[in-house]
């Protein structure tokens, strides 16, 4: 192993980890070229990422890093995510997960079906979440507390159904909180913006290249697992 190749591989890993862009036409173009033109650099980077349970995706001649499934070092636990987003209960976190899933579906139905839209608006996400959860709220009167605790989708649907659409503020003044449907969606978008997955311009949310890279490569393998996880969500700690 050449020390120069090791140093290049570590540079690639370090810059990706700190959020720097590595692309063919960017400031780190030499590292992008080294990754694809030097077999030893490519292998070393792959070994580092495998050992740390990280995934590397390419999109439009740029490299993007993502934590692998169950990665406790670079990913979030439920408790960490609740603290980060200012949530109190698991059902609130699961609602945010469901909102994220609906945002994802606004752009991808599956790995072969990318919907070419530039942006999505908060009110559109609210409508889609309401529509998706309506099957669980049509007969909401028949649910008792045991069923709510046992069936996570019902718990999420009940929480969403109980929330007002907004707290009376204008669209420009919606705050991220747990007070309304609009504020929950705003809270979720704020987290996605913090993860460099969306940018907000004039109350429109535009997916970043990082979002497109992660979803395009991740969606086919994990869509079923996402749905299964949502289906099996538990709320025992909400009491």
- pLDDT of 155 reads 81
d(CA 167, CA 165): 7
The DSSP-derived string for 66-104 is EEPTT-TTTS--HHHHHHHHT--SHHHHHHHHHHHHHHH
Residue 175: what pLDDT? 85
> Are the C-beta atoms of residues 177 and 187 closer than 8 Å to each other?
yes
Residue 89 has a CB neighbour count (10 Å cut-off) of 16
Computed on alpha carbons and rounded to an integer, the radius of gyration of the chain in Å comes to: 20
Distant-in-sequence, close-in-space partners of 16: CB < 8 Å, separation ≥ 6: 22, 56, 63, 64, 65
Bridge pairing between strands 108-110 and 113-114: antiparallel
Per-residue pLDDT of the chain (239 residues; tens, 9 = 90+): 788 999 999 999 999 988 888 999 888 999 999 999 999 999 999 999 999 989 888 888 999 888 877 777 677 888 888 999 999 988 899 999 899 989 988 887 654 555 667 899 999 999 999 988 887 666 544 444 444 443 567 788 889 989 998 876 666 668 888 889 999 999 999 999 998 899 999 989 999 988 888 887 766 566 555 555 555 544 333 43
How many Å separate Cα 188 from the centre of its chain? 9
pLDDT of 46: 94
Task: For the sheet with 198-201, list strands across it.
Answer: 120-121, 204-207, 198-201
Strands ordered across the beta sheet of 54-58 = 22-23, 62-67, 54-58
Q: How far apart are the C-alpha atoms of 193 and 223, rounded to whole Å?
A: 22
Per-residue pLDDT at 95: 92
């Amino acid at each position: 192993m050449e020390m120069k190749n090791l140093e290049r591989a570590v540079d690639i890993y370090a810059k990706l980890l700190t959020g720097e862009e590595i692309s063919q036409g960017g400031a780190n173009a030499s590292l992008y070229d080294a990754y694809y033109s030097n077999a030893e650099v490519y292998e070393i980077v792959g070994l580092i990422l495998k050992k740390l349970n990280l995934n590397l995706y390419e999109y439009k001649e740029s490299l993007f890093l993502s934590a692998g499934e169950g990665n406790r070092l670079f990913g979030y636990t439920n408790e960490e995510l609740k603290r980060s987003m200012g949530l109190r209960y698991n059902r609130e976190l699961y609602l945010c997960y469901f909102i994220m899933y609906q945002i994802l579906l606004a752009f991808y139905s599956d790995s072969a079906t990318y919907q070419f839209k530039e942006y999505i608006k908060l009110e559109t996400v609210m409508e889609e979440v309401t529509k998706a959860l309506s099957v669980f709220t049509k007969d909401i009167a028949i649910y008792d507390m045991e069923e709510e605790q046992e069936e996570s989708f019902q718990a999420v649907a009940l929480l969403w159904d109980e929330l007002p659409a907004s707290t009376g503020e204008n669209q420009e003044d919606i705050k991220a909180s747990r007070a309304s449907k609009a504020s929950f969606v705003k809270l979720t978008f704020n987290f996605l913006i913090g993860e460099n997955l969306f940018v907000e311009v004039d109350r429109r949310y535009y997916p970043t290249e990082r979002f497109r890279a992660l979803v395009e490569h991740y969606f086919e393998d994990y869509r079923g697992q996402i749905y299964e996880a949502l289906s099996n969500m538990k709320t025992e700690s909400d009491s």
